[in-house]
Structure 1
Amino acid sequence: MSSAQPAPTYYVIFATVAVLVLKAANEEVTEPYMDEPFHVPQVQAYCEGDYWTWDPKITTPPGLYVVSLILKKIFMLKCNLSMLRLTPLLALLALPIALTPLVAYHKRERPPPSLAIPLLEAVILASFPVGWFFGFLYYTEVPSLVAVISTVVFALEGKHWLAASIGLVSCTFRQNNIVWVLYAYALSQVLYLRFRRALPNEKPPSKLHDPLALEAAPADLIRSVLSAPRVLPDILVNFVPYALVLAAFGAFVVWNGGIVLGDKANHVPALHVPQLYYFVGFATAFGWPALVTGSGGISALVRDVYARMFGSRRNAAVTCIVSSIMCLTIYKFTIQHPFLLSDNRHYTFYIWRRVFLLHPVVPYILVPGYIACAWAWYLRIGPDQTLLQNLLLPVFVVPTLLPTPLLEPRYFLIPYILLRAQVKDVPLVGLILEGLWYAGINAATMYVFLYRERAGVGRFMW
């Protein structure tokens, strides 16, 4: 099948709708909005050849601007707002193509033979509301996501130098993508150790203790850690390109005096433990179609989650202990960022005020729900995955979310996509339900953003 094969109808629809939405955005939002007033003048200075002026309010590196400059050179584009918004749009159109090999890998399927025929599941994931919305504004989110997904895919394919190179590029969009570069390496090596086999007449390779996730016990995690040193010599060589990226990132941090560029005052790292709980709830609120359409349906999922939480005295005791610890962290480490409390143009403003501030006890009542949601995801990604595969993403989510004081859905974008891609057996009815769920949220959010601007307040957005 040649690379010129026509794209399937669902991808054509995805691309057509995206182009029409950008056209509407450019017609209705004719001035830079929200973060665009910082990004747009900066890239326009670059377009004019001024590479030394830097707006101190900008906190991310200039990767987005460099991509726009490359597109300008290739296609002779102008650096006005409408043309600049093509950069995230093109990234959005590339996202299903980048996601297809990742989804196919987790499904243990061969990806389509042509880049022009992305999987339906990849197109639906590319429609995920938070990512979709920022495909039409001059923001870093979607190019950053494409770069991270590509890094993970190439690492899984054993192309480590290419993966590390793209991972380095991903860090020029958002600094904390360095965590996902290391995740790509770690995931690739866990899978390499799982599936490698000795050649005939060869000595059997050292084994990492890594049982199937749904059969593992807590003691297996300790055994996995203890078995790690004997396999380290087999995976260190592949770490070399990632180590170089890590060294370059370290040099940047030393030179910059910290991770954050520019406006450090409003981006001071803080220990925000409940951010992890918010992510679990966020992932479940968006990913429920994939959760409830597994084998046995919602009843089987509820039964299995209940068994994990209360199915034995030991499980019930562990659930009570974990709940107590979570309640303590909510009490000690909940952060109400000034932006969260003051900016009423975002979903989080209303969720915080109408749910979390409804009564002082509400944040604590939600704790069993967080635990149930975490178990639901563990069980859904668990079939055919090992213990370390299941736990790897949560481990890497911690350093990306724990230091972030602001409750912001954009921070959940990359971990959600990586989590959802691991659900290997979503049936067609589940995909349709998920696609309709995303489409409804996208339509409502974009309609309000474009056509329901409030005088003196502005446009409502993620």
Structure 2
Amino acid sequence: MSPLYFILALYTSFSLPIFYLVFNASELVVDEEFHLRQGRHYCLGNFDIWDQKITTFPGLYIFSAILLWPAQLFGMDLCSTFALRLTSLFASIINVVLIYEIRRNVLQKVNSIKIAFETLILSIMPPMYLFAHLYYTDIVSITMVLAMFLLNQKQRHRLSAIFGFLSVLMRQTNIVWVGMILGYSIMDKIISQTLPFIKDSEKRSNNSYNFQDIFSVLGFYLKRVYLVPKQVRLLFIHFIGYILVIVGFIAFVLVNGSIVVGDKSAHEAALHLTQIFYFSIYYTIFAPSVTLKFIETTMKMIQKHWILAILLTLASTIVIYSNTIVHPYLLADNRHYVFYVWNKLYGKMWWFRFAMVPLYLISISILYQSIAMRSAGFQLTYILCTIVSIAFQQLIELRYFIIPFMIARISTSSVKFKLLVFELILYLFINLIFFYIFTTKEIYWSDYAHVQRLIW
């Protein structure tokens, strides 16, 4: 029996009791107020009703309506909170399969049992695992992005682009990951075809080229400009699916005046570079196996290039001083852990923001090393797209970090088994504490009838 079937059964067997635990603790958690109401409308076939407070495309509600629609034919009302939340759990089970297949493609020589073990661990990554039990856009959004990446790995670009479109339908910011796939796919294609014609090049694999190879190929075409139109035409035909999704999205933004639908007032974009630092810390905390794998080389690198480290420290300090944005929701919403971290540390002690700079630089180095095994095109597009996806968000929301985290984590090289065991123990411990607090700590807001819970 494939180890994938075993971890699917195991994941489902322990997730269902947790699902019931979360449901019994609260039938309405934070932004579910809007999602559940809209989900019910679509589930019941009321597609002409739209809540202007919702800022995303209706992908989640369409997904739920498709899954639950057959029940309507038999007169069954499965448009309840319980049923709608089940769509997230169902998507999370699909994600187990997608993570396993992607890791198997990345680590082709690694034992499938080890890959299955790592897949199970990644599937319960604490901030992501919570949303498998709630009716948010996050889990289904991850499903579409992972499917897009897997199909891209298999060179099935037209189908990959379709899932790219579906990912944008779940959440607009996923257009960034469609752009990433298009970007590195174009570079992989050009470089794999061109390097064999460049003198002294021994590179043949589109997964092994470095930044020097990119410059070599660029120089090759600068000397042979007459080849460019034909190459552009071939690339356009080969990757037409991704291009259509991106062009369509640009047209939407031009017509709509923003990437946000509905209420735009609370989601205005602004450059917020310190989000990069927050994300790097998030990555090192929730990818402990990768952190422990690369921490020694990172410290040696800092010692070797200490002058550069000092310059980066000064630059980071300037960024933090001049570009730290505190969103009103961050200070007002006590239903998120970030609220307490900010008010107890970042907001209370001004010096704490700057004291974190060394940890930020170490974390960024670890994050980069985790994708260093991939092609230079992948590295370049991941860095650019991660910055775009998080550095224009004013509000610090840990769930916004999940997709860039997952892309980097499933793209890293093989991790030692003992480090994976440590990661599993840490995840189990964090989840145990989290769900205990979630089910026992009650938060009351005067304008909410339902008891509120503490989430990521």
TM range (shorter): 0.7 to 0.9
> TM-score when scaled to structure 2?
0.87
Aligned-pair CA distance for 1:274:
0.3
Aligned-pair CA distance for 1:74:
3.0
> TM-score when scaled to structure 1?
0.86
For 2:455, give the aligned amino acid. M
Q: In structure 1, what is the Cα distance between the partners aligned to 2:252 and 2:350?
A: 42
In structure 2, the residue matched to 1:440 is 429
For 1:413, give the aligned amino acid. I
Q: In structure 1, what is the Cα distance between the partners aligned to 2:344 and 2:186?
A: 44
In structure 2, the residue matched to 1:280 is 280
In structure 2, the residue matched to 1:370 is 360
Q: In structure 2, what is the Cα distance between the partners aligned to 1:362 and 1:228?
A: 49
Q: In structure 2, what is the Cα distance between the partners aligned to 1:236 and 1:26?
A: 48
Q: In structure 1, what is the Cα distance between the partners aligned to 2:162 and 2:422?
A: 37
Aligned-pair CA distance for 1:128:
1.0
Aligned-pair CA distance for 1:213:
11
- Residues 25-424 of structure 1: pairs in structure 2 closer than 5 A: 25-30=22-27, 32-76=28-72, 78-109=78-109, 119-192=116-189, 204=197, 233=232, 235-292=235-292, 294=293, 301-311=294-304, 315-382=305-372, 384-424=373-413
Structure 1 window deviating more from structure 2 (316-325 vs 123-132): it is 316-325
In structure 1, the residue matched to 2:454 is 460
Q: In structure 2, what is the Cα distance between the partners aligned to 1:461 and 1:225?
A: 48
Q: In structure 2, what is the Cα distance between the partners aligned to 1:270 and 1:396?
A: 16
Is the 8 Å Cα contact of residues 280 and 370 (structure 1) preserved in structure 2? yes
Aligned-pair CA distance for 1:235:
3.8
Residue 287 of structure 2 aligns to a residue whose secondary structure is: helix
Aligned-pair CA distance for 1:389:
3.2
Aligned-pair CA distance for 1:396:
0.9
Q: CA RMSD in A?
A: 3.2
The structure 1 residue matched to 2:7, chosen from 7, 10, 20, is 10
Is the 8 Å Cα contact of residues 98 and 146 (structure 2) preserved in structure 1? yes
Residue 12 of structure 2 aligns to a residue whose secondary structure is: helix
Aligned-pair CA distance for 1:267:
0.5
Aligned-pair CA distance for 1:145:
0.4
In structure 1, the residue matched to 2:448 is none
Q: In structure 2, what is the Cα distance between the partners aligned to 1:445 and 1:274?
A: 26
Is the 8 Å Cα contact of residues 152 and 184 (structure 1) preserved in structure 2? yes
Aligned-pair CA distance for 1:398:
1.1
Is the 8 Å Cα contact of residues 209 and 223 (structure 1) preserved in structure 2? no
Q: Structure 1 residues 195, 174: CA separation in 2 closer, same or farther (over 3 Å shift)?
A: same
Residue 132 of structure 2 aligns to a residue whose secondary structure is: coil
Q: In structure 1, what is the Cα distance between the partners aligned to 2:4 and 2:280?
A: 34
Q: Structure 1 residues 285, 6: CA separation in 2 closer, same or farther (over 3 Å shift)?
A: closer
The structure whose residues are more often helix, as a share, is 2
Is the 8 Å Cα contact of residues 208 and 224 (structure 1) preserved in structure 2? no
Q: In structure 2, what is the Cα distance between the partners aligned to 1:420 and 1:238?
A: 28
Is the 8 Å Cα contact of residues 343 and 349 (structure 1) preserved in structure 2? yes
In structure 2, the residue matched to 1:297 is none
Q: In structure 2, what is the Cα distance between the partners aligned to 1:157 and 1:214?
A: 17
Q: In structure 2, what is the Cα distance between the partners aligned to 1:137 and 1:8?
A: 24
The percent of aligned pairs where both chains have the same amino acid is 28
Aligned-pair CA distance for 1:414:
0.1
Q: In structure 1, what is the Cα distance between the partners aligned to 2:213 and 2:302?
A: 19
- Unaligned ranges ≥5, structure 2: 446-450
Q: In structure 1, what is the Cα distance between the partners aligned to 2:214 and 2:280?
A: 22
For 2:153, give the aligned amino acid. L
For 1:281, give the aligned amino acid. I
Q: In structure 1, what is the Cα distance between the partners aligned to 2:320 and 2:56?
A: 29
For 1:460, give the aligned amino acid. L
Is the 8 Å Cα contact of residues 197 and 205 (structure 1) preserved in structure 2? yes
Is the 8 Å Cα contact of residues 210 and 386 (structure 1) preserved in structure 2? no
Is the 8 Å Cα contact of residues 7 and 116 (structure 2) preserved in structure 1? no
Aligned-pair CA distance for 1:190:
4.2
Is the 8 Å Cα contact of residues 30 and 452 (structure 2) preserved in structure 1? no
Map Cα deviations across residues 153-188 of structure 1 (whole Å, 9 max, x no partner). 111211111011110011111001001111122333
Map Cα deviations across residues 123-168 of structure 1 (whole Å, 9 max, x no partner). 2111111111001111000000010011111112111110111100
In structure 2, the residue matched to 1:298 is none
Q: In structure 1, what is the Cα distance between the partners aligned to 2:52 and 2:220?
A: 47
Q: In structure 2, what is the Cα distance between the partners aligned to 1:302 and 1:252?
A: 44
Is the 8 Å Cα contact of residues 128 and 139 (structure 2) preserved in structure 1? yes
Q: In structure 1, what is the Cα distance between the partners aligned to 2:4 and 2:207?
A: 37
Residue 119 of structure 1 aligns to a residue whose secondary structure is: helix
Aligned-pair CA distance for 1:417:
0.4
Map Cα deviations across residues 185-208 of structure 1 (whole Å, 9 max, x no partner). 23334444565699xxxx848989
Residue 48 of structure 2 aligns to a residue whose secondary structure is: coil
Q: Structure 1 residues 75, 275: CA separation in 2 closer, same or farther (over 3 Å shift)?
A: same
Q: In structure 2, what is the Cα distance between the partners aligned to 1:36 and 1:194?
A: 46
Aligned length: 439
Is the 8 Å Cα contact of residues 91 and 139 (structure 2) preserved in structure 1? yes
Aligned-pair CA distance for 1:251:
2.3
Q: Structure 1 residues 82, 208: CA separation in 2 closer, same or farther (over 3 Å shift)?
A: farther
